[in-house]
Amino acid sequence: MQPLNAPRRATLAAIPLRRDPAPTKWAYRMQRLWLTPLFRVMFRVGLPTFVLVSTVGIFLADQNRRDMISGGITEIRTQFQNRPEFMVDLVSVVGASPELADAVRARLDLKLPQSSFDIDLGAARARIQELDAIARADLIVRSGGVLEVAITERVPALLWRTDDGIEMLDATGHRVASLGARSDRPDLPIIAGDAADSATPEALALLQAAAPILPRVRGLVRVGERRWDVVLDRNQRILLPQDQPIAAIERLIALHQAGDLLGRDILAVDLRTEHRPVLRLAPYALTQLRQSQGIDTSGSEL
C-alpha cells in the first residue's frame, strides 16, 4: 500500500533543479579583471603584438632569411631607381660663359648616364661653388634626363695688384679670376697693398665719392692695412685718414672745385689731420713761391 503523498513526491522529482545565478569565485574574478581598461588593452593589442613580434623575430633569427629579404629589397630598389625616367643623360649649364661651363662640368665629374637617385645634389652644388667665378649655383633634375645647373657669376668690380700678379675682385672682395695684364680690363679701377681685398667695399665707396676727379685717378693704395692713398696722374697723391676717409675726400674735392687745387704743382695732399691739411709742393713750385715772396733759394731776402 503506497503512502498518500507518493504522487506528490514523483512530481517534485520530475521538476529540474534551478541553477544558482550567482557566479563562481573564478568567474567573478575574471569578470572584474575584464572590466579593467589596462587588461582589455593588453589582451586586445598587447597580446597580438607580442605574438606577431615573436613570430617575426623567430623568422628573422635565421641569417639566410635575413640575407634573402635584404637582397630582394635591394634588387627592387635598384630596378626602380634605374628606370629610364629617372636616368640623367645630359648636363645643361645656363648663365655661364663657355669656359666657365666647361669648368663646371669638369667639377661635377659625373659618369653619365646615371640615376638621379645616385647624384648628391648638395655635394655637387658645394663642389661647383668652390670655383671663384661662381657666386651661386642651383641644380635641378629636369624631365627628359637633363641635370640643369643655373649659374650666377661673380661680377668683377675692381682689380687688385699683388706681388704675384693682378686679381679681379667682386664688390665683396671675393676673388673672381686672375688677369694677365692691366690692359685686359682698362674699365676697372685698380687697388694695391696688403689686405686691400678685405677693404674692397670701402675702396668702391671712395671711388664713388671721387667721381668728379675719377678720370685722373690711377688707383688706390692700402697703407698699413688701415688707410688709403689715392694716386692721381702727374704723380700726385692724396693721403686719406683712417677714420672717415670719404668725408675727407669730399672736402678735398670741394676745395679743388673752388680753386683748382689739384691742378697746381702739388705732389701730395695730406688729409690725415682733419683740421690741418698739408700740401707738399713740387720743388720748382716751391722755388717760385719763395721768389714771389722775396726769398732767394738759399733762404736770404732779396
Domain boundaries, the chain: 84-153, 196-292
pLDDT-derived band at 5 (thresholds 50, 70, 90) equals low
Residue 54 scores a pLDDT above 60: yes
For residue 158, name the pLDDT band (cuts at 50, 70, 90).
very high
| Amino acid 176: pLDDT | 93
**Distance, CA of 168 to CA of 190 (rounded, Å):** 9
Average pLDDT over residues 218-232: 94
Placement of cell 665719392 in the chain: 209
Q: What are phi and psi of 232, to 5 degrees?
A: -105, 170
What is the average pLDDT score of the chain?
84
Query: Per-residue pLDDT for 293 more than 90?
Result: no
Q: Please tell me which residue, 257 or 77, carries the higher pLDDT value.
A: 257
- CB contact at 8 A, 200 and 173: yes
Asked if residue 6 has pLDDT above 70, the reply is no
Domains 84-153 and 196-292 share a fold: no
76, containing H or E segment: helix 63-81
Q: Considering the domain 84-153 in this protein, what is its CATH number? A: 3.10.20.310
The CA-to-CA distance between both ends of the chain, in Å, stands at 189
Question: What pLDDT does 75 receive?
Answer: 78
Tell me the longest C-alpha to C-alpha distance in the chain: 189
pLDDT of residue 299: 45
| Segment 88-95 mean pLDDT | 89
- Average pLDDT on 141-160 reads 91
DSSP letter string over 254-298? HHHHHH-GGGSSEEEEE-SSTT--EEEE-HHHHHHHHHHTTB-TT
Using pLDDT thresholds of 50, 70 and 90, give the confidence band for residue 228.
Answer: very high
**Of the listed ranges 2-16, 34-48, 86-100, the one predicted with least confidence:** 2-16
Q: What is the mean pLDDT of residues 166-170?
A: 95
Residue 240 pLDDT level (bands cut at 50, 70, 90): very high
- Could you please state the CATH topology (level 3) that the domain comprising 196-292 is classified under: Rossmann fold (3.40.50)
Across residues 43-66, what is the average pLDDT?
83
Half-sphere exposure of 184 (CA within 13 A, CB side): 12
Percent of the chain with pLDDT over 90: 44
pTM: 0.66
Whole-angstrom Cα distance, residue 223 to residue 95?
A: 38
Distance between CA atoms of 173 and 203, rounded to whole angstroms?
A: 10
Q: Which pLDDT band holds residue 20 (cuts at 50, 70, 90)?
A: low
Question: How many of the other CB atoms lie within 10 Å of CB of 7?
Answer: 10
H and E: helices and strands count for the chain: 10, 14
